[in-house]
Homo-oligomer: A and B are copies of this chain.
Amino acid sequence: MARDAVFRSWQNERAKHYRRINNIDDMLGTAVNVQAMVFGNLGETSGTGVGFTRNPATGVKEFYGEFLMNAQGEDVVAGIRTPVHISELRKIMPQVYDQLREITTRLEKHYRDMQDFEFTIQEGKLYMLQTRNGKRTGLAAVKVALQMVEEGLITKEEAIFRVEPNQLYDFLVPRLDEKSGKVEVLATGLPASPGAAVGQIVFTADEAVKKAGHDRKNPVILVRAETTPEDIHGMEVAVGILTSRGGMTSHAAVVTRGMGKCCVAGAGDIHVDEKKREMHVKGQVFKEGDWLSLDGTTGRVIKGKLATLPPKADDPELLQLMGWAEPFRKLRVRANADIPRDAIQARAFGAEGIGLCRTEHMFFEKDRIPHMQAMILTDNEKDRRAALKKLLPMQRSDFIGVFRAMDGFPVTIRTLDPPLHEFLPRREELMVDIAILPHADAKEKKSLVEKYRRFGAKSASDLKKVMSGLLRRVEELHEFNPMLGHRGCRLGITYPEITEMQARAIFEAAVAVAKDGVKVFPEVMIPLTATLKEMANQAAIVNRIAQEVFTEKEQKVDYLVGTMIELPRAALVADEIAKESQFFSFGTNDLTQTTFGFSRDDVNKILPTYLAEGILKQDPFAVLDREGVGQLVKMATERGRKTRPDLKVGICGEHGGDPSSVEFCHQTGLNYVSCSPFRVLTARLAAAQAAATDKLKVEAGRTK
């Protein structure tokens, strides 16, 4: 019976979940030790407790733990009785306390790591029940590693493995100060982007901007069912984002991680009524202006206003550890950054260039989207060129800012990628507006005129014509599967004038900063190529414009033209594509989508079942699938370098900041990884660990 219970415990939901998140194979099974039982509940000279040899939250070297007299293990952790701080044991049973300290110190020395132990005192006699290396926060991990080097327990080389790269987030983001108030958890969502945020609720992006006010004086938390690119201006001013739908790779999650902004996503218990501007949870109703505290590191949504503790990116102990790690690193680490502000932030975290600057994010800005829409709505090249001409100086000034921030480092700029309909009103919204127009009263008509003013509506009498004209174009651009649609280099091939404008903005900016003495290395990146001819088509445009600008401005800069490898076909014919491509950057988000046939925006309908059934061990959008997608990465790298031995190869998908994926990139011989600014530190440590592992392996080989 007992044996059965033990084996069953391997299969319980909690165990399955633990294995899943820690990537432990379901087939390993569990072992059973049979031993005598000791009892902590035999009276006042018995007791039981748990502890750590150092403080697992801060890393401070202090004996840390709690116990209960006349109690069994369950009583300590179950929360029915309140345990007592371990220092009290010294008063109650000084001998036992000293023995416990002596034993745990010995255990720490033996295992050369901070110990998490359990003990029982049976009628005055101490029994150790368990010891293991203790879990700790990032802050503690760094401090403990440094202390142990100082104490001569471990080497510096070992120390760099004592911190999990993902834990370095703890230094970069604010944390909730849980002692500052009552912690009432309303719901727990996905920890989509770490850190803490405390602010007043708003339900729309426009309201966020209004409420945040000048200089973002008022902290706001944007609460949405899910976010879309149209919410960007609101996300930028908010201190945190909360969504009731969407997963770790939803729009909200990806964008906030890029911004280093706290986000709790997919908090399913929360119902967001965007019309009424209300949030319902646990029978409570929250309205605009109510205070909320978010913990993006754990996914908790907390009622009311807690205080936050500031980030510690310049912590001297962190810098010390990184100083030991960095010399090992072979991979370069760049950041994905679209605007000068992010580039500056990334550089502060140690980014050695920009690996992905998405130009379309610039087009969603309020002052730009009208020109973008004008370009899309016209049916002729002349008007398209006129609209593009208005966008040119805006793009150029963005690039100037990014180049300046990255003085001395390369900047990879991707030409326009998303399908054009993303810049227009949503089809179903337009259809509904048209359907209700005949029934609209004067007030409703007025608000529709306002809504469609920028598409040419001047009065209620225009509405029908403007709206149906707009719908016609939206229908023309409508796609059943936009991810597989008219986007990426397909846009630049259909509308070469777009690539021309973008190339001109890049080279005019580069030449301008070069004249000021900035060391600028633009790398123009063509997205979504599948064939050599696409690459040749776009490279020819970029090179032609470069020469034009260099002649006009009488100044040259060095530059590269390359491509994103984000389709299986591109990987399969990488030897061909490399003929026209001076660098490859793996867009592993899209490559994962097409290799698996998973839409990133929809995969959360499938993923929970797949993880629960053990069909996938982890979300392939979070951790690179080495078996499948990785095969293509390896193939493309090898084939590309066969054609062009000096081909520069990097990765700029979400995986660029995931430690396991960084290790794979190191092993595959990539030149760099690029990730969101707030993952740069993580990527740097992960890359150093991967290289240090190589060195240790070589040394182990020599010793044999």
Interface residues of A (CB under 8 A from B): 427-428, 431-432, 435-436, 438-439, 479-486, 488, 490, 493-494, 528, 530-531, 533-534, 537, 566-569, 572-573, 576, 590, 593-599, 601-602, 605-606, 609-610, 613-616, 625, 627-629, 631-632
Q: With the chains together, A658 CA to B74 CA distance in Å?
A: 70
When A428-B431, A628-B569 are in contact, do A481 and B595 touch as well, CB less than 8 Å? no
Establish whether residues B569 and A629, one from each chain, have CB atoms under 8 Å apart when the complex forms: yes
* Copies held by the complex: 2
Chain B neighbourhood of A427, CB < 8 A: 428
Q: Is the interface of A mostly helix, strand, loop or mixed?
A: helix
Contact of A590 among B490, B569, B597 (CB under 8 A): B597
A484 and B572 within 8 A (CB): no
Residue pairs across A and B with Cβ atoms less than 8 A apart, 18 shown, are A427-B428, A436-B439, A439-B439, A479-B599, A479-B605, A480-B483, A480-B602, A481-B484, A484-B484, A485-B605, A531-B615, A533-B613, A533-B616, A568-B568, A568-B594, A569-B625, A572-B632, A573-B627
> In the complex, what distance in Å separates the CA atom of A576 from the CA atom of B569?
21
Measured in the bound complex, the distance between the Cα atoms of B628 and A632 in whole Å is 12
Ranked nearest first, the 4 interchain pairs of A and B with the lowest CB-CB distance are A484-B599, A481-B599, A439-B439, A568-B568
Least distance between A178 CB and chain B CB atoms (Å): 36
Residue of B nearest to A608 (CB): B494
User: A432 to chain B: which residues have CB within 8 Å?
Assistant: 431-432, 435
Q: Tell me which residues across on chain B come within 8 A of A568, comparing CB atoms.
A: 568, 594-595, 628, 632
Given A432-B431, A435-B432, A573-B628, CB of A602 within 8 Å of CB of B531: no
Rounded to whole angstroms, the CA-CA distance of A632 and B616 in the bound complex is 23
Q: A484-B598, A567-B596 provided; 4 other pairs, C-beta below 8 A?
A: A432-B432, A481-B601, A483-B484, A569-B596
Q: Which residues of B contact A593 (CB under 8 A)?
A: 484
Beta-carbon contact of B436 and A602 below 8 Å: no
What residues on B are CB-neighbors of A483 within 8 Å?
480-481, 484, 597, 599
Q: How far is the CB of A539 from chain B (nearest CB, A)?
A: 13
A438: chain B residues at CB < 8 Å are 439
- Bound form: Cα–Cα A65–B585 in Å: 61
What distance in Å separates the Cβ of A607 from its nearest Cβ neighbour in chain B?
10
**Residue pair B436, A486 in contact (C-beta under 8 Å):** no
The chain B residue with its CB closest to the CB of A476 is B605
Q: What is the CB-to-nearest-CB distance from A635 to chain B, in angstroms, rounded to a whole number?
A: 9
Q: How far is the CB of A182 from chain B (nearest CB, A)?
A: 35
Q: How far is the CB of A93 from chain B (nearest CB, A)?
A: 53
B493 touches A609 (CB 8 A): yes
> Is A601 within 8 A of B480, CB to CB?
yes
CB distance from A281 to the nearest CB of B (A): 19
**Shortest distance between the CB of A352 and any CB in chain B (Å):** 30
Distance between Cα atoms of A573 and B628 in the complex (Å): 7
| Chain B minimum-CB-distance residue to A225 | B475
Of the residues B493, B599, B614, B629, contact of A480 by C-beta under 8 Å = B599
User: Are A485 and B616 in touch, CB under 8 angstroms?
Assistant: no
Considering the chains assembled together, what is the distance between the CA atoms of A299 and B482 in angstroms? Answer: 29
